[in-house]
Homo-oligomer: A and B are copies of this chain.
Amino acid sequence: MEKTGMAIQVIKEKLYQSGFKLTPQREIIVKVLIEKEHLSAEEIYMAVRAKHSGIGLATVYRTVELLTDLKLINKITFQDGIARYDLNHNEHHHQPHYLLCLNCGKIDEVEQDMLIDIEKEIEKNHQFKIKDHRLTFHGICQDCLKKTDSNQ
């Protein structure tokens, strides 16, 4: 709960710095985002309604849009076209890399930025100034590998 309180405080400050408020609805949404990762808007909405039944889906969308604009959370869309949201804990603005299991759908994050050298090469070879990146690996996670190993 310490961590939650701290994170909310930081977000509250950044909101006020930009002229926005941390309304009760926004606070509940942020708490949900702290508790669980990779949630879609619908999933946030469900979790939020469990705590405060009066919140509308539109508020969820408007809040995650606001938080994304302020770079407080990351919005990521995999191939299914559904946007998912994660708190942006690291100060560095780069997106983490994702490991997406094709079997069970689990999403893992790799916080370490492994693209630095590649980005330098791309910038040199293509005269393209890189601001951000999205990298997702599709494959089979550790758990699913174990399950299938014994059978095949």
User: Which residues in A have some Cβ–Cβ distance to B below 8 Å?
Assistant: 75, 77, 79, 81, 83, 97, 99, 101-102, 108, 110, 114-115, 118-119, 121-122, 126-142, 145
Q: What is the bound-complex CA distance between A130 and B137, given in angstroms?
A: 6
Name A's interface SS. strand
CB distance from A41 to the nearest CB of B (A): 12
CA distance A131 to B79 in the complex (A): 15
A–B Cβ pairs within 8 angstroms, 28 of them: A77-B77, A77-B79, A79-B134, A97-B122, A99-B126, A99-B128, A102-B131, A108-B126, A114-B118, A118-B118, A122-B137, A127-B145, A128-B139, A128-B142, A129-B145, A130-B137, A130-B138, A130-B139, A131-B139, A131-B140, A132-B138, A132-B139, A133-B135, A133-B136, A134-B134, A134-B138, A135-B135, A135-B136
Residue from A99, A130, A135, A145 having most chain B Cβ neighbours under 10 A: A135
Report Cα–Cα, A79/B93, bound state, in Å: 17
Partner of A134, one of B75, B115, B136: B136
Distance of A86 from chain B, by nearest CB (Å): 14
Query: Measured between alpha carbons, how far is A110 from B83 in the docked complex, in Å?
Result: 25
A138 touches B133 (CB 8 A): yes
